[in-house]
Amino acid sequence: MDPEAMLADLEELVLCESYSTDHEAVARSARVVGALGRRLLGAEPETLVIDGVTHLRWSFGAPRVLLLGHHDTVWPVGTLREHPWSVRDGVARGPGVFDMKAGLVQLFHAVASLPSPEGLTVLVVGDEELGSPTSRPLIESIASRCAAAFVLEASADGGALKTARKGISRYELTVHGRAAHAGLEPELGANAGVELAHQVLAIAGIAARVESSSRAGATSVTPTMLTAGTSTNTVPARGRVAVDVRVPDGAAQRRVDELMRALTPRTPGVRLELRGGPNRPPLDPVASAGLFDVAVRLARELGMAPLRGAAVGGGSDGNFTAGVGCPTLDGLGAVGGGAHAAGEHVVVAEMPVRARLVAALAAYVLSGGPIGPGDDADRAARDTRRTARGTA
């Protein structure tokens, strides 16, 4: 792996801004990502535009291994003026550099190093930061036919792989009341703002009513954006609250959904309307355990620092691949930090290291190596490492 070439490719991707909700920007980014993949993989991507969102797919025969990433970011076009691309003291900075354009560079260089990509599917979606509303069916369809999915999302703290992710549910509760003059006849109104206050407190208490035995952490149910009313002298006729839910397992996700749908009004004359529901299923530690064991062995033989696993609260498209029963290992992308923040950065020296690990993992599964502990897995891992070393 050539670190200088990888850094040049990273710069090209970062300089092409790709804000998720700007379909034109995402389309421009897809052209740049497609050209990079074309050059390194020697194959044209299939460009898939779904509801205006541009995704890219490279297919090399029947899918056995899915390499998954996204090229959209949370940064509006123009952010480069405030947070420009830079490389200082071995650290690259810029919007989207960590989440997850460095991961894309590592993905393409990893595949380019393999003797053959036969059996690989590379999918780069353009709406992950929005919850993958248009790409989810595509992801799940491919993953359901694969023996493994490797997600090139950024690593957890210190380079840890993400071996568990919480599931995500999103809701919007609307309170429908009745307007009236706040000074002349407030008694004729049905105050949606007062009702909203009751509901926010009820929602905030839901997490304490949900039990879980998962190692992935506790459930959180968080009221976030709130609005109510139209003027200072009018009884509010409508109020809204958005709710972010993170759950460690499917049982908790179902229980939260039951409790959200059981909310009842406290104020006479108001009506509740609930929208939303589960968005991403949890990535259970069981889905990643076998692949993580393989990754630990491969990393050791490649001379890497010992790998760690981490359970995280954020979701990714790995939640979808695991949700359809595909063994999934996440967080194989950049080492750095500051996702979605001004301090977003990548440790440049780790990029070729992580790319070699991804190449070794893909080669291992493509060669039919067992996913799990045991002597057979150790032997297959050793054979795969010899191949990866010879092509890196």
Per-residue confidence in pLDDT tens, the chain, 392 aa:
899 999 999 999 999 999 999 999 999 999 999 999 999 999 999 999 999 999 999 999 999 999 999 999 999 999 999 999 999 999 999 999 999 999 999 999 999 999 999 999 999 999 999 999 999 999 999 999 999 999 999 999 999 999 999 999 999 999 999 999 999 999 999 999 999 999 999 999 999 999 765 555 789 999 999 999 999 999 999 999 999 999 999 999 999 999 999 999 999 999 999 999 999 999 999 999 999 999 999 999 999 999 999 999 889 999 999 999 999 999 999 999 999 999 999 999 999 999 999 999 999 999 999 985 443 444 444 344 444 434 33
* CA nearest to 165, candidates 79, 284, 85: 284
Beta-bridge partners for 173: 241, 274
Helix, strand, or coil (residue 304): coil
Provide the H-helix boundaries in 42-186. Answer: 79-82, 102-112, 136-143
Instruction: Spell out the domains of the chain, with CATH numbers in brackets.
Output: 3-166+283-391 (3.40.630.10), 167-280 (3.30.70.360)
* CA nearest to 13, candidates 71, 69, 68: 71
The end-to-end CA distance of the chain, in Å, is 6
Confidence at residue 372, expressed as pLDDT on a 0 to 100 scale: 58
Token digits of residue 103:
């991961």
Task: Kindly give, in sequence order, each residue whose CB lies less than 8 Å from that of residue 338, ignoring residues fewer than 6 positions away.
Answer: 98, 344, 345
Q: Can you tell me the distance from the alpha carbon of 13 to that of 29, in angstroms, rounded to the nearest whole number?
A: 7
Other Cβ atoms within 10 Å of 151 Cβ, number: 30
Confidence at residue 211, expressed as pLDDT on a 0 to 100 scale: 78
**pTM score, whole prediction:** 0.87
Q: How many helices (H) and strands (E) does the chain have?
A: 11, 16
Confidence at residue 371, expressed as pLDDT on a 0 to 100 scale: 86
Confidence at residue 391, expressed as pLDDT on a 0 to 100 scale: 36
- The dihedral region occupied by 308, where left means phi > 0, alpha psi between -120 and 50, and beta the remainder, is beta
Query: Cα 33 to chain center, whole Å?
Result: 18
Place of tokens 């690259």: 92
Task: Kindly give, in sequence order, each residue whose CB lies less than 8 Å from that of residue 348, ignoring residues fewer than 6 positions away.
Answer: 3, 6, 7, 87, 90, 91, 92
* CA nearest to 214, candidates 179, 180, 246, 189: 246
Q: Can you tell me the distance from the alpha carbon of 86 to that of 90, in angstroms, rounded to the nearest whole number?
A: 10
